[in-house]
Structure formats: C-alpha cells, structure tokens
Homo-oligomer: A and B are copies of this chain.
Amino acid sequence: VSSLSKDPATPVSAIGERGLIERIRRRLPQPPPSLVVGIGDDAAVVELERGTLQILTTDAMVEGVHFDRRYSSLFDVGYKALAVNLSDVAAMGGAPRLALLSLMLPDAITENDIDALLDGLVTLAASSRVTIAGGNITRSPGPLIVDITLTGSVKPRRVLTRGKARAGDALYVTGAVGAAAAGLGWLRDCGQGPTHAPDDEGLAECVGRYRRPEPRSRIGTLLGRTRTANACMDLSDGLGDAVRQLAEMSRTGAKVEAELLPVPQAALAWFAAKGLDPVRSAVAGGDDYELLFAVSPRRTRALKAIVAQARGVAVTRIGHLVDGQDAALVRQGRAEPIPEGFAHF
C-alpha cells in the first residue's frame, strides 16, 4: 500500500481506506508482544493477563454533539476521545490496556486533519500506556465521529462499581467541578478558533479542561487496588448527575455542601457574569471527567495515603451519603435538590 498522496490537504476520500489504514499504522508506536495480531487483519488478537477481570467500555465523540471544530482542534478531539474512555476505566478502579478506534469520516476531511487527530490520540495513549490494537474506518455522510472502545484490567474484588456505597460514607471528588462548563461557555461566547484562549489564566485553564480533560487514571487505580472507595463513578454528565446516580444505585440519599465544592474562582466569576447561579451551573455542568467516590469514615487514613501518591491531583470532600433517597445540595444550611445532569437527548 503506497497510495499516500503528496498533498497533505488532499481529502482522505482520495487516499482510500487501505492508504488511510497504512497512514495510521505508521503513526503508531511499535506494539507490545502481547498484541499477537494488530492492525491490518480481520480483527486484533491479544494475550490476556492472568488473574484479572477485563473492563470493556465504549464512548463516542460526535461532531455537533460532543465537539465543535470552531472550539477544539482535531488534536483535542483525538485526545479527548481517548480521555473520556480512560475516565470510565479509572472509575471502575482498573488500568487501561487496549483501544480500538472506529472512525467515521466526512468526505472533506484531509490527511492533515487525520494526522492531527491521531497525534492527539497517540499522545494520550503513550502517556497512558494504551496500545491501539485495531479499529475500523468508514465514510460518514454527516458528522465526524471518533468512537473508541477501551479495555482495561482489574483484579477480582477490586472493581469499583456505583452501587456499593453506604449511608455515612463521605463523598469526595477529584480536581475541579464546573471548569469544563465554564470553559465551553467562554468558547461559545468568545471563541474565535480552536486554539483561541482567554487572557484570564484561570479561565484559560477551564478552557483547557474542556478541550483536553485529564483522566484520573492513577487515582482510580489506587482507589480500586487498595479497596479504599466503596463506590466510584466519573462526572461525564456533571457532578449533580453523578451524585444522583451513585446514591440511587447504592440506595442512599446524599448531601453535598455547596461551600465545600472545588469550583474554580474563574468559573464562578464566569457563571455570575452571565447572570447564572454559579454553584448550580458548576454542579449541572458536564464534561469534567473527574471522579466522584464514596469512602467509609474508617478508611480516611487509607485515602490520605492515596492522595499523597496522586501527583498533585486535588481530592476534596464535598459531603456524605445519608439514609433516604434525596440527593440534596446544602447552601448556608438549607437543602435544595441537586441539579440534574447534562442531558444527551
């Protein structure tokens, strides 16, 4: 296969599927020996780890739904498509292993576009030790879609589900809440291209969190391996949604203290400037890809040891689980229903 065109702005429709697969293969690092059959056959074949369970997850980035090329570069899109899957594996307490890349490409996509997308994907795959084992490429008559399936491994009895927390457990969240929503808000208002960023440093960080969320892989693995959390999930659809789901599946209620929430000052200021309720906006906002988890008070010391190994990722106690079934946001002593999450439909 040597059908790579000389002009990198050539639409990929002119290269053909096999040329494109070859182009992708060349951009990937040498796979490990555990990948018995890699890209280019009917399917990938891999050696399995002994004594572990396998995690399987899939998440898609759809143009016009999950990203907009006016706000995110294709590097960002490739990066984030893997990040959101890494976040799911982290939320199960596992370590990521292999990815399958399913690409659906509009006719106007160029080789340069594909290269940028792959660069984003490969950059995060390398730092996460994920092998891209195979995938599929097809034409899309509509949006650009990057659909990734990720496998991971986790020891039996170390799996972090959503449903095993108990009333009395403290609720913690990693990183910041509402940052991505504020970042996206700024992009919708002021974004002048996929690399444009605000002058304000705090708000620029929010935009960065929206474009390239940092999956909490290390802390998720540590929480599972040490059996420190009773339940865990990621915040893809917002903190409010995550608290509701974790509490519902654990058959508990929840109380989240507004004053404890790690919402960046820049995000609070942005929401306020837009005439929005800053706290509710942060709690309802999607795309944060942080972890929410429940820890029994008996395990507080174990959690401290994990935080010490978390390489600077903040871990904040934001409330606790209670008897009953109400998920409440408590502000200045008064409880209100916690906001619903981001609705995909």
Q: Given A62-B104, A65-B140, A136-B59, do A45 and B41 touch, yes or no (CB 8 Å)?
A: no
Inside 8 A of A54's CB, which chain B residues have their CB?
Answer: 45-48, 54
Q: Are B48 and A48 in contact (CB under 8 A)?
A: yes
Contact check, A64 vs B141: say whether CB atoms are below 8 A apart: yes
A221 within 8 A of partner (CB): no
- Within A141-183, which residues are at the interface with B (CB < 8 Å)? 141-143, 145, 147, 149, 151-152, 154, 156, 159, 161-163
- Do the beta carbons of A43 and B16 come within 8 Å of each other? no
| A52 closest partner in B (C-beta) | B48
A100 at the interface (CB under 8 A from B): yes
Residues of B contacting A20 in the complex (Cβ-Cβ under 8 angstroms) = 345
Given contacts A42-B234, A161-B41, contact A60 B17 (CB under 8 A): no
The interface residues of chain B lying within 8 Å CB-to-CB of A123 are: none
| B65 touching A56, Cβ below 8 Å | no
Residues of B within 8 A of A105 (CB): 345
Instruction: Check if A256 is an interface residue, CB within 8 A of chain B.
Output: no
Copies in the complex: 2
Known: A37-B159, A42-B88, A100-B58. A16 touches B345 (CB 8 A): yes
A102 to B44 Cα, complex, angstroms? 19
Also in contact, A142 and B142, with CB within 8 A (given A92-B41, A147-B147): yes
Q: Is the CB of B147 within 8 A of A60?
A: yes
Q: How far is the CB of A341 from chain B (nearest CB, A)?
A: 9
**Cβ–Cβ contact A152 & B43, under 8 A:** yes
If A56-B151, A58-B102 touch, does A42 touch B91 (CB 8 Å cutoff)?
yes
Number of chain A residues close to chain B: CB under 8 A: 74
- Check if B37 sits within 8 Å of A140, measured CB to CB: no
Judge if A226 is at the interface, Cβ distance under 8 Å.
Answer: no
CA distance A162 to B43 in the complex (A): 10
A145 CA to B105 CA in the complex, in Å?
13
Contact, CB under 8 Å: A62 / B140: yes
In angstroms, how far is the closest chain B Cβ from the Cβ of A268?
Answer: 28
Chain B residues near A14 (CB-CB < 8 A): 345
Q: Hey, which chain B residues are within 8 Å of A59, CB to CB?
A: 102, 136
Interface string of A51-75 (1 = CB under 8 A from B): 0111111111011111000000000
| CB pairs A–B below 8 angstroms (12 shown) | A17-B344, A36-B53, A37-B161, A43-B89, A45-B92, A45-B154, A45-B159, A47-B53, A48-B54, A58-B135, A58-B149, A145-B145
